[in-house]
Amino acid sequence: MIKIAKYEFDSREQVISKIASLGTATDEDGNEYPTHKHTIVQLGNIVLEQGQYDEEGNETVSPVLSDKWHVDVLWNGIDDHPYGWKSYAVDIDGDGVHSFLGLSYNAHKF
């Protein structure tokens, strides 16, 4: 069973900590790798309002970025958000700025 969830965290560092809590190991060369089977995409500070540009490509109005660090997760084999993730979950209409291989967010969301 797969589920899709979208999250807004306070910072990139907070996301890194949350991801690490899902489980990691270190190989013989010292490289850390995940031990979980979830797919995590860090979107960062997404664009809330598009910028405007003149015909030469010069910015005339700056884009407005979210102050939150956005993450999409395709959870594999779990029935609910892991501990500490649910309070950062957001529910949106449609797929938003990212989707997983054409999977519908609405059809697979928690």
Compute the half-sphere exposure of residue 92: CA atoms within 13 Å on the CB side of its CA.
18
Residue 102 has pLDDT above 90, yes or no: no
Q: Please tell me the pTM assigned to this model.
A: 0.88
Nearest C-alpha neighbor of 5 from the set 72, 85, 80, 68: 72
3-29 mean pLDDT: 97
Residue 25 has pLDDT above 90, yes or no: yes
Non-local (6+) Cβ contacts of 12 within 8 A are 42, 44, 69
Residue 101 has pLDDT above 90, yes or no: no
pLDDT for 63-99, tens place per residue?
999 999 999 999 999 999 999 999 999 999 889 999 9
